[in-house]
């Protein structure tokens, strides 16, 4: 097997939700690095995979990246798995990946299931456009600023949340975005998988486990749309946008074709 770092997607609940390629790679890799050895051992035992195993988690990722790099440089293959889903997506793996890339060493991604796409498809909310925001910041001001940034997006917003935070997250999101329709997904791919639908402030349940929270996109228009087209363009130009970037942003705000705004801009300058 080629000396390479293999980032492998693993099941988010049901141990059978893993690709043949992922299992083969884990069996062939000379070393397996993982987020938590105790957790990963359950998956490895299920598929009868016995390899040297060591932990690379968010508290030691920088230091342990040196070990992985040393193994790769010595011609060894290393697989990396997080506790569930895709490494580096709200999981450790990002630091490791970038340290390996910085050394110009090869990396290969073995794709797998993710909680955010599983929840999105099962939610019944719009799937053609979505924005994944991960876990909300703990500090109130940072949380409010983040939510305000995405308030006017007309796409489904997806968050991760723990049992300790899910109820407060529902309330905090509603305070900034309004009492929108939402879906709370829990125990995905497991026996007691649940999808609860309702308004952010109306859902009531006993929190348990990890959650994916999906919130409908905004139906509001940008307040800048009340300006004339010329004023709208001038606003972005005053914000140091280039003329073309201003045109693109106005077209996006007003849901117009870029060419329409461009023609107006050119005509107005003649």
DSSP 3-state of 54: strand
* Cα(7)–Cα(98) distance, integer angstroms: 12
Q: For residue 226, give the DSSP letter.
A: G
Determine the structural domain holding residue 68 and report its residue range: 5-113
Residues 140 and 103 in one domain: no
197 shares its domain with 236:
no
What lies within 8 Å, CB to CB, of 74 at 6+ separation is: 3
Are 121 and 206 in the same domain?
Answer: yes
What value does the mean pLDDT take over residues 70-96?
97
| Pairing label, strands 156-161, 194-199 | unpaired
Do residues 129 and 35 both lie within one domain? Answer: no
Contact 87, 6 (CB under 8 A): no
User: What is the reported pTM?
Assistant: 0.80
Contacts of 252 (CB under 8 A, 6+ apart): none
**Structural domain ending residue among the three candidates 181, 196, 215:** 215
* pLDDT over threshold 60, residue 268: no
Q: Kindly report the CATH number assigned to the domain that includes residue 90.
A: 3.40.1010.10
Which position has the higher pLDDT, 171 or 248? 171
Distance, in Å, from the CA atom of 60 to the CA atom of 116, rounded to the nearest integer, reads 26
CATH number, domain of 180, equals: 3.30.950.10
pLDDT at residue 270 is higher than 60: no
* For range 236-253, the mean pLDDT: 83
Same domain, 100 and 155: no
Tokens representing 232 are 């709208």
Contact 148, 173 (CB under 8 A): no
Q: Do 122 and 197 belong to one domain?
A: yes
Same domain, 131 and 206: yes
Q: Which of 118-132, 150-164, 238-252 has the lowest mean pLDDT?
A: 238-252
| In a shared domain, residues 16 and 106 | yes
In angstroms, rounded to a whole number, what is the distance separating the alpha carbons of residues 89 and 87?
6
Q: Are the CB atoms for 207 and 239 separated by under 8 Å?
A: no
Asked whether 25 and 8 are in contact (CB, 8 A), the reply is: yes
Whether residues 199 and 227 share a domain: the answer is: no
**Considering 215, 232, 254, which residue would you say is the last residue of a domain?**
215
CB atoms within 10 A of CB 18: 21
Handedness of CA 206, 144, 249, 227 (dihedral sign): positive
pLDDT per residue over 152-185, tens digit each?
A: 888 999 999 999 999 999 999 999 999 999 999 9
Q: Are residues 102 and 169 in the same domain?
A: no
Does the structure show a pLDDT above 80 at 224? no
**Tens digit of pLDDT for each residue in 22-79?**
999 999 999 999 999 999 999 999 999 999 999 999 999 999 999 999 999 999 999 9
Give the pLDDT band (50/70/90) at residue 219: confident
Which residue, of 215, 236, 253, is where some domain finishes? 215
Q: How far is CA 186 from the centre of its chain?
A: 17
Query: Residue 69 belongs to what H/E stretch?
Result: helix 61-73
pLDDT band at 257 (very low <50, low <70, confident <90, very high): confident
- Which pLDDT value is given to residue 230? 81
Is residue 115 pLDDT above 90, yes or no?
yes
* Count of the separate structural domains present in the chain: 3
pLDDT band at 269 (very low <50, low <70, confident <90, very high): low
Counting Cα atoms < 13 Å in the Cβ hemisphere of 147 gives 22
With pLDDT > 90 as the criterion, what percentage of the chain qualifies?
A: 77
Q: Is there a single domain that holds both residue 196 and residue 229?
A: no
Tell me the pLDDT of the chain averaged across its residues.
92
Would you say 150 and 131 are in contact if contact means Cβ atoms under 8 Å apart? Answer: yes
Q: What is the DSSP letter of 111?
A: -
Claim to verify: residue 87 and residue 109 sit in the same structural domain: yes
Q: In the prediction, which pLDDT does 267 show? A: 62
Q: Give the other-Cβ count within 10 Å of 22's Cβ.
A: 23
What six digits make up the tokens of 43?
């998956």
């Amino acid at each position: 097997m080629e000396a390479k770092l293999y980032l492998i997607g693993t099941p988010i609940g049901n141990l059978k939700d893993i690709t043949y390629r992922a299992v083969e790679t884990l069996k062939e890799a000379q070393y397996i690095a993982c987020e938590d050895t105790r957790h990963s051992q359950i998956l490895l035992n299920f598929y009868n995979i016995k390899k040297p195993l060591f932990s690379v988690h968010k508290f030691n990722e920088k230091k342990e990246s040196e070990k992985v790099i040393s193994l790769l440089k010595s011609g060894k293959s290393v697989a990396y798995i997080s506790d569930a889903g895709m490494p580096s997506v709200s999981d450790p793996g990002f630091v490791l990946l970038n340290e390996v890339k910085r050394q110009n060493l090869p990396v290969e991604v073995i794709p797998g299931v993710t909680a955010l796409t599983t929840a999105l498809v099962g939610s019944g909310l719009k799937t053609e456009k979505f924005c994944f925001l991960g876990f909300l910041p703990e500090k109130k001001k940072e949380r409010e600023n983040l939510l305000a940034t995405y308030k006017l997006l007309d796409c489904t917003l997806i968050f991760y949340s723990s049992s300790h935070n899910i109820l407060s997250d529902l309330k905090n999101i509603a305070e900034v975005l309004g009492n929108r329709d939402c879906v709370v997904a829990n125990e995905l791919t497991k026996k007691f998988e649940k999808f609860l639908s309702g308004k952010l402030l109306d859902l009531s349940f006993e929190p348990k486990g990890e959650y994916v929270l999906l919130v409908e996109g905004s139906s509001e228009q940008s307040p800048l749309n009340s300006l004339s087209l010329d004023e709208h363009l001038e606003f972005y130009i005053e914000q140091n946008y280039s003329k073309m970037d201003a045109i693109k942003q106005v077209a996006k705000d007003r849901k117009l074709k870029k060419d329409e705004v461009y023609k107006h801009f050119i005509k107005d300058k003649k």
